[in-house]
Amino acid sequence: MNSKQFNQWLVDYQSNLPSSPLIMGVLNVTPDSFSDGGKFLDPTHACKQAILMVEQGADIIDIGGESSKPGALPVSSSEELARVIPVIEQIRAISDVCISVDTCKAQVMEEAVIAGASLINDISAFSDPAALAIAAHRSVPICLMHMKGLPQTMQEDPQYVDDVVLEINDFFQQRIQTCVDAGIARERIIIDPGFGFGKTIQHNMLLIKRFAEFQQHNQPLLLGVSRKSTLGAILEKPVNERLIGGIVISVLATLQGVALIRTHDVDETQQALKMIQAIVSA
């Protein structure tokens, strides 16, 4: 899927709900991400991985240059740019696949879009006014994610005053309106409830059990659960043995209307979605 096709998919979303979710392939160009940290620091190697994921069925490649795992420390804009921009440029030189940049920094957002990114995925939901201004000025689709706290401290006993799903929905209502008021078209907004970001295992399970409740905003829903620690805690498996748990959650979310699935395991996720589609269309 190229950028033009993705933009049309977003426009059509309201009137023609997709029968199968898009797949967003994870490409972390960091030394410290929890699953693939250090594997794709070389831009050429990262580019090859991106093309492999496209061949396996990825519609979007999500490139991140700063780890957001629990306890991760922030990096400078210059360091993040040095990691991300060469990869975007190399991919763009050989492919028109839709590229997402996973960042909270306004400067990184702008330079990534100039380099060829077509979507901005911000775990802080554009809480920085400068980032919000860049998103409005560049007129690119954005993803708003819910996160309780910051990566450094978000898993230190996260608490919700009320129901976790209700609180996340209140957050989305406020952030969507803020984005619209800033000049971002509603049809360009994707929302992600932030599985694992400032949430206990119980919070995460409720989020999946009641995933359909996030559809009240009429925005495409993104979900990223691939290889996360909640799966490891429940299954008692290390990070490289959590595939089945992630696929099960992806299937459950698909049956509740998820529109995009963010995953490290593109081929396996594509197979699961293909089976669901075959059953639904029988």
Give the residue numbers marked as catalytic.
Answer: 228, 262
151-186 burial code (b ≥16 CB/10 A, e <16): beebbeebebeeebbeebbebbeebbebbeeeebee
221 beta partners: 191
Find all residues with CB under 8 Å of 98, minimum gap 6, and list them.
1, 2, 3, 5, 6, 59, 60, 61, 118, 119
- The H helix count followed by the E strand count for the chain is 10, 8
HSE-up (13 A, CA, CB side) for residue 76: 3
- Whether 119 contacts 101, CB under 8 Å: yes
- Whether 238 contacts 232, CB under 8 Å: yes
Tell me the C-alpha distance between 37 and 68, whole Å: 11
Backbone angles phi, psi at 163, to 5 degrees: -65, 130
